[in-house]
Chains A and B, each alone.
Chain A
């Protein structure tokens, strides 16, 4: 193995690309996935037939998106990505499919965390005269915070591996580098380093996530 031929500038650029993709995708996944998860939870508990029906439709859509392999999803979404971002490759072109794949996934994790909240506490809050919005903001979210953080950690780690996959279709970042140089050009040094960088990244994310979960756990 000869590491001297590695272009560290390119390596750094790819790392930044990966971080950018991950960062933006995480942000939008959170913005879309959290309300979606709350809606799934609240509607599934509702007595209203209409809301129950909406729950079933949303639940079906979430399941369908989660069933499609990510690599297929990227390809299928190319027209849509082009429409909203103007391009379908590079960092910008990768973010929409990342978000569309990860948001339903995160929403399910949110829904599961909210289900874990003690029903008695929710009942007590309604008994004190809280509205549904107040129960969501002041009871469900604070009570499930450790679970939500754990869910977010899982989602971010999944996003990192998704960014690597997007390298297959010209997505940019470390995964792209690993495939272009390491796989197509047999420069296994670059592949190795890219993978090591990603391992380190995932390790750091998981560690931070775990620490936060411990910090916010009160049970």
Chain B
């Protein structure tokens, strides 16, 4: 659906050049929710603005829905932009227009008729749950309501793609979750491709199918969220993942005569809720202490990540690790 080929973006003139994007490649499939995570200044904002050419890349090709946008003239580009919805961190609503007129905006610039506008706007008002607020002005709404207007407005022209530029970064955690679940609903209902950028791992974990980690203008890691989240490879990815759940600091200790080994066990899918660990230790006669752990979901997939200290004889501990692996759990010895 979205394809970026060797995108470079350089700001400034010869002497004072800064490279925002350095030859970046990216593909977003139809119907998926694709997240790009990165620190501020990593280039993620430039990246998402390159997709609808709010920023023109210095070189490279941008393809959306099989059309190369970077080749289009002004008029054609305006038409194609209608097929790309966008929502923003600061909502960017018309302060002088009501909720109704804000949602109608993309239709009026396309020259749609009154009846068409009315039926579309009514439908969207009920989709985002703002029927009672139709005649209010943005200044009278809360942040979450403003973003709902933003979403409705972005959907008004029946886009193929929705771009979300830090759409939840200005919202409190509860509102963030309600906006995220709305995005997920829309994705499922209309099979709408969503590409979002964020600096919050929570957003990626809640709704994204695939994720790319951007650092210094390039993508350093990319893949299904479960994979990237549970097995981060690049140090930036680790930073994002660990900030949310694992600090990685554990005391290595040996108690008495017993032999202790620290292991990290990763569960994925339905195995997360099974009693594998307790079954195995009963067989091998090993004791364990949980030092750190999290059990949660990535989008709809349950996962668990435990750091446990296994205590027993060396043989028994080795056997335990082996048995856990035989049960298809991912076990990593930490020492």
Within 105-143 of B, Cβ neighbours of A (below 8 Å) are at 105-106, 108-110, 137-139
- List residues of chain B with CB within 8 A of the CB of A126: 54, 81
A129 beta carbon closer than 8 Å to chain B = yes
B109 touches A121 (CB 8 A): no
Q: With the chains together, A125 CA to B108 CA distance in Å?
A: 12
Q: Which secondary structure characterizes the binding site on chain A?
A: helix
Q: With the chains together, A134 CA to B105 CA distance in Å?
A: 11
Q: With the chains together, A123 CA to B94 CA distance in Å?
A: 11
Closest to A128 in B: B106
Stretch touching chain A among B26-34, B85-93, B322-330:
B85-93
Q: With the chains together, A155 CA to B28 CA distance in Å?
A: 54
- List residues of chain B with CB within 8 A of the CB of A130: 78, 109
B88 touches A120 (CB 8 A): yes
Known: A127-B84, A129-B81. A121 touches B93 (CB 8 A): yes
Chain B interface residue count, Cβ-Cβ cutoff 8 angstroms: 30
Question: Which of B78, B79, B80 is packed against the most chain A CB atoms within 10 Å?
Answer: B78
A195 beta carbon closer than 8 Å to chain B = no
How far does the Cβ of B133 sit from chain A's closest Cβ, in whole Å?
14
How far does the Cβ of B67 sit from chain A's closest Cβ, in whole Å?
14
Q: With the chains together, A123 CA to B92 CA distance in Å?
A: 8
Interface range on chain A (Cβ under 8 Å from partner)? 20 to 34
A124 beta carbon closer than 8 Å to chain B = yes
Known: A120-B88, A126-B54. A138 touches B108 (CB 8 A): yes
Interface string of A39-80 (1 = CB under 8 A from B): 000000000000000000000000000000000000000000
- List residues of chain B with CB within 8 A of the CB of A134: 109
- Chain B positions near chain A (C-beta within 8 angstroms): 52, 54, 74, 78-82, 84-86, 88, 90-97, 105-106, 108-110, 137-139, 153, 157
- Chain A positions near chain B (C-beta within 8 angstroms): 118, 120-121, 123-131, 134, 138-139, 142-143, 145, 216, 218-219
Could you list 5 A-B pairs, sorted by A, with CB under 8 Å? A121-B92, A126-B54, A131-B74, A134-B109, A218-B137
